[in-house]
Amino acid sequence: MEVQITSENFESLKNGQLPLVVDFWATWCGPCRMIAPVIAELAKEYDGRITVGKCDVEENEDLAMEYGIRNIPTILFFKGGQMVDKLVGAVNKAKLDEKFQSIL
């Protein structure tokens, strides 16, 4: 299940027990809407092993600026509180799944 990432809960999720995947997106972004079902599917598949969240860049500009998000969708991968990987743009499920596997 996906969680909503905000400026208020980001640090606790980033430093939580599970690795964190954050999908930076916006409602008006076509490629973001295109990969949303794939992200949701992977969130279910990795439930209990990886926390998967969505962060609306318009509602959380501070986080987008902190991580230099210039293009969306951008997906950041965190492990042990540190960013370990990044994907920019719409990618297929196989590529996303490979990245999810790499942070377990």
DSSP, collapsed to helix, strand or coil, labels residue 71 as coil
**Using omega within 30 degrees of 0 as the cis cutoff, is the peptide bond preceding 73 cis?**
yes
pLDDT in tens, 60-78: 999 999 999 999 999 999 9
> Are residues 39 and 5 in contact, defined by beta-carbon separation less than 8 angstroms?
no
Active site residues: 29, 32
Surface-to-core class of residue 97, CB atoms within 10 Å of its CB (0-12 exposed, 13-18 middle, 19+ buried) = middle
State the pTM of this model: 0.96
Q: How far apart are CA 12 and CA 36, in angstroms?
A: 23
pLDDT in tens, 69-102: 999 999 999 999 999 999 999 999 999 999 999 9
